[in-house]
Amino acid sequence: MRIIISGHKGFIGEHMVRNLKLFYPKKDLIFLKKKDFDNPTKLTSKIKKNDFIFHLAGVNIASEGEDLFDSNYKINYSLFLALKKVKFSGVMFFSSSLKEKTNSIYGKAKKEGRKMFEKLSSELNFKFNCLQIPNVYGPFCKPNYNSFIATFSYNLINKIPVKIIEDNNINLIYVDDLIDILLKSIEDPNAKIDIKQNLNLIKVSKVLEKLNYFFETYICDNEFPKLDNDFDIKLFNSFRSYINLKKHYPVSNKIHHDERGLFSELSRSHSKGQSSISFTKPGYTRGNHFHKRKIERFTVLKGEAEIQIRKFMTNEIISYKLSGERTSFIDIPIWYIHNIKNIGEEILITHFWINEHFQNKDNDTFPEKI
């Protein structure tokens, strides 16, 4: 089975592709690009009748001179015609929005698209699924676009004033939770798609309060904040994805000297965690994996180390040199492949802090080479 994705360059689309590459590496992924929707022949040629389609493409902020409703209608109608031409009989998921229930132009466009594909699915007898998706948040979302969490996080870290326009209660869903739900339909297209249990209803000001706390505790004091629940961990991982990794790290530990020698705190956490220590021989490398949720801190205590990180499905490698002569740390971002190599001539001693206890059954560790 081939999997077709429209909107693969968008926030949800990029996370969809990452998870598909991770969990379904042998599936053929076909991307419907923006220009394909302007070329009926090209669009139709990319679709086979038994494909599985995730139709995520849409326009939620119109460019100058564009009509928001017409832009969305054009995308949906182009795909509608292509499906009709190939006599599509596979499975289609259509990404709609809770704004369907409002009077907004975007909501009306999404509602029109849903009705269009529902009608076609009855006519051609293909499986059609749709979700009215609420506000989606998570790492790597573009700030100053359509996620207030992305904008608030980016602004706080970059010391830009944050302003609440409307302090409403907002339904939020974490992007990886949404993707997990959608991916289940690959295994069972008839499975009921339900996101209610993954929603968090929270006031905008309460989210900002948490983000301010993350900034003060983590950015200013280099301490791990108190993360009381799953939502806090996901929000924190989203927040820290806006750190400029090249400029921020490594961070030097505070060293206290006296006649006895020196003393330094390695990590201070307001939540549970686990500490471990490694002794690595010269020339050897540890790691070469990444995590989707874990929060990790690497601190070099003795020896010379090179830490490398690379975002999954990208090519840029960021390297850091750390030395026990001046202890410093790197916090590993989620979705970043990482390793640590002993580049010195003596044993490398490294302290690792992680926010959760090790579990064999669910260790959130995915092997991948830098």
- What are the residue ranges spanned by the domains of the chain? 2-208, 246-367
Question: Is 124:84 a contact under the CB 8 Å cutoff?
Answer: yes
CATH number of 246-367: 2.60.120.10
Cα separation of 152 and 138, whole Å? 12
Tell me, what's the pLDDT at 362?
87
The predicted pLDDT at position 64 comes to 57
pLDDT at 258: 86
Which of 260, 237, 267 lies closest to 327 in space, CA to CA? 267
pLDDT by residue, tens only, the chain of 370 residues: 899 999 999 999 999 999 999 999 999 999 999 999 999 999 999 999 999 999 999 998 876 556 999 999 999 999 999 999 999 999 999 999 999 989 899 999 999 999 999 999 999 999 999 999 999 999 999 999 989 999 999 999 999 999 999 999 999 999 999 999 999 999 888 888 888 888 999 999 999 999 999 999 999 999 999 999 999 999 999 999 999 999 999 999 988 888 998 888 889 999 999 999 999 999 999 999 999 999 999 999 999 999 999 999 999 999 999 999 999 999 999 999 999 999 999 999 999 999 998 887 889 999 999 9
Cis peptide before 139 (omega within 30 of 0): no
The C-alpha atoms of residue 118 and residue 222 are separated, in whole angstroms, by 51
pLDDT of residue 65: 54
CATH for 2-208 is 3.40.50.720
- Taking alpha carbons only, the member of 22, 4, 26, 1 closest to residue 13 is 4
Specify the pLDDT at position 165: 93
